[in-house]
Amino acid sequence: MRRLYRLIAQILIVSMVWMPFSIHAGMIGTDQVAASAQDQSNRDTVVNFMSRGDVAKKLETFGISASTAKERVDAMTNEEVSKLAAKIDSMPAGASDDWVWWVVAAVVVGIIIWLVWYKK
């Protein structure tokens, strides 16, 4: 057992001599951690959007496979990904900009039903 302790001590001494003494541990600022987390969150948002079924089908109609789209997102800079993620987050949930016409149509149908019902 004593030989084992002596061997471990010798290995530790040799490793201490070979290791450089100029290794410094630095503090990482909160802003750096938050920026890194935000960049990863934006990248995840874009990748999740690309992996949706309707988006994948639309990309395939353009001749781009889902794996190619993911590779292209991985190749984008953080600024490009954040701009794209902001656009994705600001898009309407129904993916249709003409919801006003549906409201107008519902009002017109409501007026027609009211006129027919009450003007007998």
Residue 95 has pLDDT above 70, yes or no: no
Residue that has been written with the tokens 């949930």 in this structure: 93
The tens digit of pLDDT for each residue in 38-47 reads 888 888 888 8
Identify the burial level of 73 via C-beta atoms within 10 angstroms of its C-beta, where 0-12 means exposed, 13-18 middle and 19 or more buried. middle
Q: Are 73 and 39 in contact (CB under 8 A)?
A: no
Helix (H, G, I), strand (E, B) or coil at 96: coil
Average pLDDT in the 39-66 region? Answer: 83
pTM: 0.49
Q: What is the pLDDT of residue 6?
A: 92
Q: To the nearest whole number, what is the mean pLDDT of the chain?
A: 79
Average pLDDT in the 83-106 region? Answer: 71
